[in-house]
Amino acid sequence: VRAGVALAVSPRLDRRTTLKDAFSMLLDADVQAGSVVDREDRLLGLLTVEMITRWFQADPARGAEADGAGPPPGAPDSARVEA
């Protein structure tokens, strides 16, 4: 993890957090990246506002489909918060 990407105030995201919820958490915390952690609070990776934005921009229909429910069934793994 590069210094400055994830701040101490960055939200910790469970790997099951929906992209919509993660995006909201990042904006609420006024940060660009959140830490994706497992049940034992071990770092799995980072999720950035840019990553979420690019994923939704790649297919505008995703915004409607993922309305609080995360990626639709059958979506590629890259659509999930998991790192």
Task: State yes or no: pLDDT of 74 exceeds 90.
Answer: no
pLDDT value of residue 40: 94
Please give the order of strands across the beta sheet that includes 33-37.
12-14, 33-37, 43-48
What's the predicted TM-score (pTM) here? Answer: 0.64
Task: State yes or no: pLDDT of 72 exceeds 50.
Answer: no
Element (H, E) at 45: strand 43-48
Q: Which of 15, 45, 17, 12 is nearest to 31 (CA)?
A: 12
Residue type for position 56: F
Region of residue 70 (left: phi > 0; alpha: psi -120 to 50; beta: else):
left
Task: State yes or no: pLDDT of 62 exceeds 50.
Answer: yes
For the record, the structure tokens of 53 come out as: 């934005």
